[in-house]
Amino acid sequence: MRMFFAAEWHDRAEHINVTNPFNGEVIDTVPRGTVADVDAAIATLVEGAKLMRNMPSADRCRILRKTVELIQKRAEEFAQTITLEEGKILAESRLEVSRGCETLEVSAEEAKRITGEVLPLDAAPGGAGKFGFTLRVPCGIVAAITPFNFPLNLVTHKVGPAIAAGNAVLIKPAGDTPLTALKLVECLLEAGLPPQAIACLTGPGSELGAAICTDRRVRKISFTGSYDVGTAICRMAGVKRVTMELGSNSPVIVMDDADLDRAAQLVAMSGFANAGQVCISAQRILTPRTRTADFLDALKPRVEALTIGNPLDETTKMGPMIRESDAVRVENWIHEATSAGATLVTGGTRCGTLHAPTILANVSPSQRISCDELFGPAVAVTPFTDFDEALALANGTNYGLSASIFTRDLDRALRFAREVDAGNLHINWGTQWRADFMPYGGLKDSGTGKEGPRYAIREMTEEKMVVIH
């Protein structure tokens, strides 16, 4: 495919291969964009931002709704593309397509609800007779820098609110998964988005990313990706608005009063979807010492039922990891933990990018598989003695994106919600659940700011204060 900027599709002499992570086959190529392309893209987006700022919200809403219709017509093509470039199984890709549509639909609704507030200025000394209100105006140009693991929905989480709020958008999709984002641009253009208001540049993340993030014409950076790249962007950005949606190693606390079968079923879902490559994957499973064996008995058959293979095959339950180097990293971290005394309950094997779904038990919290972000198909089970210890273990991490507890005790559930430092807290479900309209974002090193169209629009608009004297 070609990339889109300066109101046109562009090719370049140099290309980058897009490969199928399952078998390494080249499925397409994209141009290798340059720093000069970033400059040209932003110059046109400045014009696009003016068009968007003057576009009535009803029209912005209509464009987003039309985009949803166009994606829905091509839903199976989008799903196949996601599976081919990202490696998740088709059922998960189809779900992602419907979620991407939902995110755009909610953004379309929110386009009509951007309001300010009236302030009682007569409450201030000398304020009698004055009238004050706030106005929300678009930021101008929003840079949307996205990760590989949800090539459609995490792009719509930035593009939808940015357009709803009246901005121009520069998408820098992940190097491994640019095709879905380019197809989304096709739909946005066909739906009537002014071509000056959108760009999607393909090419090396660090080179293009640095040019985008240091450009003063970009007012807002919305980034989803790893902690390290997020930190580098924050250093480069200077005075800009920044949203950081970063990684995690989400804990699940299974209390002694929990329904173990249900907890096991939901841990299997939360830990292994998309081969564990989800920012809110369940990674650390904390179980009462006295019930750990029963919990493992319930979890093991469910994890062993996750057959791995070609994600295009409808019978496959788990596909490959994005790159072989990531699968090797998972293999190494598992090996480190077992060398330090952890027990391999199931899995632990690897063939190329396919890593078997793995359970480790008796894992020390100091192991990398417990304290870093694994982003792969394994869970680390660690026993605790009492609830205080469970809460301390859950909080014993730099991350804070999602956490969950299984218990029938309301007092414990509420204490968990108050005391565990995570942006998303689930009671009697796994860590991996999201409605796309809810406020979503991490605490601590998991990031700053919120997504979910209503909340993202707040971060993609500027607030002005107007006083009539």
Give 177: exposed, middle or buried? Use CB within 10 Å, 0-12, 13-18, 19+.
buried
- Tell me whether residue 351 is one of the annotated catalytic residues: no
Residue from 66, 88, 158, 172 touching ligand NAD (CB under 6 A): that is 172
Q: Write down the residue that tokens 């990293």 correspond to.
A: 329
- DSSP symbols for 265-323: HHHHHHHHGGGG-STT-EEEEEEEGGGHHHHHHHHHHHHHT--BS-TTSTT-SB---S-
* 206 binding ligand NAD? (CB under 6 A): yes
Number of residues forming the site for ligand NAD (CB under 6 A): 31
- Tell me whether residue 419 is one of the annotated catalytic residues: no
Compute the least distance from the CB of residue 250 to ligand NAD, in Å. Answer: 10
Marked catalytic residue, from 105, 139, 279, 373: 279
Pick between residue 66 and residue 157 the one whose CB is nearest to ligand NAD: 157
Residue from 132, 161, 288, 442 touching ligand NAD (CB under 6 A): that is 442
Task: Give dist(CA 148, CA 321) in Å, integer.
Answer: 11
Considering only residues 356 through 375, tell me which ones interact with ligand NAD, judged by CB under 6 A: 373, 375
Q: Which phi-psi region, left, alpha or beta, contains residue 342 (left: φ > 0; alpha: ψ -120 to 50)?
A: beta
Q: Go through the chain and tell me how many residues it has.
A: 469
Residue from 31, 33, 140, 209 touching ligand NAD (CB under 6 A): that is 209
* 211 binding ligand NAD? (CB under 6 A): no
Torsion sign (Cα): 314, 317, 323, 324: negative
Pick between residue 317 and residue 434 the one whose CB is nearest to ligand NAD: 434
Which positions from 53 to 92 touch ligand NAD by CB under 6 A, shown as an x/- string? ----------------------------------------
Cβ neighbours for 351, distance < 8 A, ≥ 6 positions apart: none
Task: Give dist(CA 105, CA 63) in Å, integer.
Answer: 10
What the block records as the tokens of 368 is 């990398």
Q: β-pairing, 447-448 with 241-245?
A: antiparallel
Considering only residues 225 through 284, tell me which ones interact with ligand NAD, judged by CB under 6 A: 225-226, 229, 232-233, 245-248, 279
Marked catalytic residue, from 245, 373, 451, 459: 245
Considering only residues 282 through 311, tell me which ones interact with ligand NAD, judged by CB under 6 A: none
* 116 binding ligand NAD? (CB under 6 A): no
Provide the 3-class DSSP secondary structure of residue 116. Answer: coil
Pick between residue 214 and residue 338 the one whose CB is nearest to ligand NAD: 214
Compute the least distance from the CB of residue 236 to ligand NAD, in Å. Answer: 7
Could you tell me if 330 and 320 are in contact, meaning their C-beta atoms sit under 8 angstroms apart? no
**Region of 90-98, 103-111, 223-231, 424-432 interacting with ligand NAD (CB under 6 A):** 223-231
Could you tell me if 456 and 157 are in contact, meaning their C-beta atoms sit under 8 angstroms apart? yes
Residue 283 sits at φ, ψ, to 5 deg, of -120, -40
Compute the least distance from the CB of residue 448 to ligand NAD, in Å. Answer: 11
Q: Which residues are known to be catalytic?
A: 245, 279
Question: Which residues in this chain contact ligand NAD in the complex, by CB under 6 A?
Answer: 145-149, 154, 172-175, 205-206, 209-210, 213, 224-226, 229, 232-233, 245-248, 279, 373, 375, 401, 442, 447
